[in-house]
Amino acid sequence: MNKLKIIIVLYLLFAINADAQTLKQKLTTNWVFQEQDDAKWYPAKVPGEVHVDLLNNKLIPDPFYRDNEKKVQWVEKENWDYKTNFDISAQTLASNHIDLVFDGLDTYADVYLNGKLILKADNMFRQWTVDVKRLVKPKGNQLLVRFYSAQNKVDAIAKADLPFFIPDNPRAYVRKAQFHFGWDWGPKLTGVGIWKEVRLESYNTKPAEKPFVVPINVELVQQPDKDGKSFYFKIDGKPVYMKGANYIPSDAFVTRMTKNDYRKMLMMAKDANMNMLRVWGGGIYEADEFYDLCDSLGIHVWQDFMFAGTMVPGDKAFFANVKEEVKYQVKRLRHHKSIVLWCGNNEIDEAFNRWGWQNQYRIKPKDSVKLWDDYTRLFRDSIPKWVKEVDNSRPYISTSPKYGWGVKNSFTEGDSHYWGVWWGNEDFEVFENKTGRFVSEYGMLAMPNYSSVLAYTQPQDRYLFSKVLNDHQKAGNGFAKLNVYLQNYMIDSARINKLSVEDYTYLTQCVQYYGFKNMILIHRNKAPYNMGTLLWQLNDCWPVASWSITDYYDRAPKAAWYAVKEAYRDDIKLERDMIKPKDLKLVNPKITYQVKGNQIILKSSSLAKYVFVDIAGYKGKLSDNYFDLEAWKEKVITFDQKELNGKSVMVKLKSLWDVVKN
């Protein structure tokens, strides 16, 4: 009898498990796309996006080359269709439930299955699920996704909303990656696409949701003290000084990122001794691989929600849309031990109160009140409530920074974005008196690596401040500001315009090296008053003059990456530079070198500043670069021979003396 009971129980358990089993069928093949109603279809990649499909079919030029970005702006004004045909198995067809699941549609899309409209999507950051049991058949199912121009949509919504006005950009109305509409380091490439996986999920009984197990004990300590109010993280009960950077999408076309691309990018953070990345709110909630790698590498993640630099609509539909987005993304990501903070938005609070929008856009007082009320309802009331419903284990802050960089309180409480350096033309040393409790943004701009300049220019473009160089310099008055720092720290102002593009590139990277090294050391020397320094920014999404410390192509280090790597070390304490490079008494260092295996051994007859070692065709990073070489003291650097693909080692050297004294 007991044996019979056991058999019955085992049978029932097996039946229940079989009943709850979910079959999955990816729908990632046989896709084609067209400009809507054009009647000519081309092969498409899913997951993917329209600009990449157009590139793969040779229908547009590379937007990253020369001024081609401007030549592809027509793409954002068009509507695009994607379709595929698929069959399903008898086992799938026999299931009680068959769901069509889109993990990501960018952004406004109507979905048709076998000619019937089944979904109207309007949020890039949501998962969309439709029960299609009654619509599917064994053979010849057709799935059609009709995308509508996000730019046209937001322009129409903004126009219909007049005379009410949301300042800065109509992008505020759409739940889409904000950087797609252009940024001061990124191109304007506002596309569409099935940007994440699409599949069928079939089952008889809906599987139970896995219970949430808190993966990490994290506390954000904000307590009054003699100086104001603290701002630091306790991880598993221990205070941790955060050393890191801000992370933007690593490609303007996010679907091109592979797991290996993510690994290479995140290893650049790990190898630079970083322990935190801030996923910035104008990009995307990153791919699972990103967070998996952060988990394994011990990199903490400050996770913004995807709002940046603009106010928000206050209607019920927008709030309901964001609610579904927040709950989906938090549930998707909450099991990652790397995530230590949810943050409502990037710089919106500061923008509304400090950027002069009310006067610039002549916003009426009653509209100003409404904008602020909608803002506080979303970021201070609604989002924290929605987050707590699915993850009550991590801290939440409504905005970053708490106060703008012109406000005194920004140095005594909350996190700080201090942009007196760069935007205010202030010297790096200003941080001696203006370091906040946790500096979550600050930076210094530089040109990309010269190899990148060669890649996106033609010879006729390679003179200072050419049209093409300006097309790859998105920062407002970027070259003028950059020249201020060159003349303050590197070279006499009269000589700047006489530099070659190659030497100009080198000098801008040297000043970025000097700036980040010394700003980081000032911050760290103020611990425990200051408990975090996150530089802007780790990475680029295309080849451009920016604040990034790595290059877009090959994720290669810029000069500043080496400075950051040293400044973030815990085993030694670096000394700050007390003499500006332009004030050094340099003479010709007469550098010599020899190559032995994977080593380059260098020696000089006098101090050589910022020695740049360039190996032709090398795709990796050196053990050190842009270093100081003391007189007659041997310096050994290593390289990875595999990155040369069998090519011989051809070394080119440059030091500060070569540029400023020659």
Q: Quick one: tokens of 406?
A: 């012109």
As a whole number of angstroms, the distance between CA 388 and CA 331 comes to 11
CA separation (Å) from 662 to 490, 495, 579, 586, 656? 14, 11, 21, 11, 9
Query: For residues 33 and 425, is the Cβ–Cβ distance under 8 A?
Result: no
Strand order in the sheet with 108-113: 42-43, 32-35, 80-86, 141-148, 108-113, 116-122
Alpha carbon 333 to its chain centroid, in Å, reads 17
**How many helices and strands (H and E) does the chain possess?**
19, 31
Neighbours of 622 (CB within 10 A): 19
Query: For residues 191 and 206, is the Cβ–Cβ distance under 8 A?
Result: no
Which three-class secondary structure state does DSSP give residue 389?
A: helix
Which residue stretches of 311-460 are H helix? 316-333, 348-354, 357-360, 365-376, 383-390, 450-456
Residue 108: phi and psi, rounded to 5, are -85, 115
Query: For residues 380 and 398, is the Cβ–Cβ distance under 8 A?
Result: yes
- Rounded to 10 deg, the angle between the 288-297 and 259-271 helix axes is 30
As a whole number of angstroms, the distance between CA 519 and CA 421 comes to 10
Alpha carbon 63 to its chain centroid, in Å, reads 19
Burial class (CB in 10 A: 0-12, 13-18, 19+), 331: middle
Report the length, in residues, of the chain. Answer: 662
As a whole number of angstroms, the distance between CA 647 and CA 523 comes to 42
Query: For residues 151 and 190, is the Cβ–Cβ distance under 8 A?
Result: yes
Q: Quick one: tokens of 585?
A: 């008494």
Detail the DSSP E strand segments found in 87-214: 97-102, 108-113, 116-122, 128-131, 141-148, 181-183, 186-188, 198-203
Query: For residues 179 and 544, is the Cβ–Cβ distance under 8 A?
Result: no
Omega within 30 of 0 (cis) for the link into 581 = no
To which H or E segment does residue 438 belong? strand 438-441
Which residue stretches of 443-585 are H helix? 450-456, 467-471, 478-489, 493-496, 501-525, 559-567
Query: For residues 394 and 384, is the Cβ–Cβ distance under 8 A?
Result: no
Which three-class secondary structure state does DSSP give residue 11?
A: helix
To which H or E segment does residue 63 belong? none
Cα-Cα-Cα-Cα torsion 432, 437, 438, 441, nearest 10 degrees, comes to -50
Query: For residues 426 and 481, is the Cβ–Cβ distance under 8 A?
Result: no
Residue 330: phi and psi, rounded to 5, are -65, -40
Q: Quick one: tokens of 489?
A: 């720290």
Indicate which residues carry an active-site annotation.
347, 441
